[in-house]
Structure formats: C-alpha cells, structure tokens
Amino acid sequence: MTLSRRKTLALIGGGVVLAATATTMTLTKAPEKALAPWAAAGQYDDPRMRALSWAILAPNPHNRQPWMADLATPDEITLYVDTNRLLPHTDPFNRQITIGLGCFLETLRMAAAEEGRGTQITLFPEGEDPQALDQRPVARIRFEGNADPDPLFAHVLARRSNKEPYDITRAVPDQALTQLNSSVRHTRIASSNAPAVS
C-alpha cells in the first residue's frame, strides 16, 4: 500500500498512524486535515500504535517528520530516520533532526507511561556514525514493566512554539520552579556505545 508521508507515519511492519502535517490555512476554513492527527491520538487498540499516535505530534525541525517505525517484533518498536528527510543545507550535522527524534522518543515514553506501561529505550542499538545519521536504527523501544504517569504528558496537545524574545532579567517565580522540578524524571536509556543513564 502506498500512502503519502504527509498523511501517515511510515510503519515498516505494516499499518499506518496518522501523522501531523503542516498545511496552508485560510481564515475562513478550519484545517481539518492538519488537525486530524491530534484528534486521532490515543485511538488505537495496539499499545504501540497508541504511543506512536502521540509521538508523531512531537516537535520536529521544519515539520519534516523524519521517523519510520518497525513493528515487526511484538512489544517492540524499532525507530529509523528517513534519510530522505534530512536537512543537508540547514542541518548538515543532523543535530536538529536528532533533537526531533529525541522529542519523538520522549513523547512516546510519556504516552506509554500514561497507561502505566514502562519502556526500555536503547539508542543506536546497531551502532552509529558520529558524523551523520544513516540507515541503522536510531532506537529500539521495548514495552515492558510498569511506569508512573508523567505530569508533562498533560501538555502534549497544548504545546506551542514561542517566537517572542524571552525576558532574561525577570526571575522565574518559586512556584513555577517547584512545579518544573517536580516533573523531572530520571529515565534509564541504554546506548550501544555508552553506559546506560539513569
């Protein structure tokens, strides 16, 4: 089945998840197609698909949605980067794309935790090229164990990009700092080339 990448997340093992896309808006018409992934988030039977349906809403550079997911192994997702969606002129070292993939993984982790499901994320399980992303997996996510919900998950649908300058002379209120600090979690992430972090 051939499907437009602007409408779906590529799933190597079969199936599709609606993907977030940029669209041209007019003031007289609501962007139903662009909003469809937000409405469909969490509406799948397979817990992996539910988590993916949230993960595709993650911020990513230039709205490239550079992810491909393989669901061939039960209780597991293997995440790849679509090398055709890299940004060689504006992101020659793949820094922005890698940050976008990290946002994808963190949103996926929070979505699974919202249902009490734990995830074990192994970064670059088949190694990596420090100069650029390539065809090897970016991450392998195993759904195992339990997890407590993450309070930041409540804000996934409310996120926005602030393009205004920040006032760095104004102190952050103590209550806001306390709330931010309470949301910090130490997540164990394994990498094939580095020790696990916790």
With a cut of 80, say whether residue 159 has pLDDT above it. no
Please report which confidence band the pLDDT of residue 22 belongs to, taking 50, 70 and 90 as the band edges.
Answer: very low
Q: Is the pLDDT of residue 177 over 80?
A: yes
CB 90 within 8 A of CB 96: yes
Count of other CB atoms within 10 angstroms of residue 188: 11
57 vs 156, 165, 176, 193, CA distance in Å? 8, 25, 25, 28
pLDDT in tens, 101-137: 999 999 999 999 999 999 999 999 999 998 899 999 9
Query: Which CATH number is 8-191 given?
Result: 3.40.109.30
pLDDT at 166: 85
d(CA 99, CA 66): 11
Q: How far, in whole angstroms, is CA 173 from its chain's centroid?
A: 29
pLDDT tier for residue 160 given thresholds of 50, 70 and 90: confident
In the chain, % of residues over pLDDT 90? 50
Q: pTM for the complete prediction?
A: 0.73
Residue 138 has phi, psi (to 5 degrees) of -85, -35
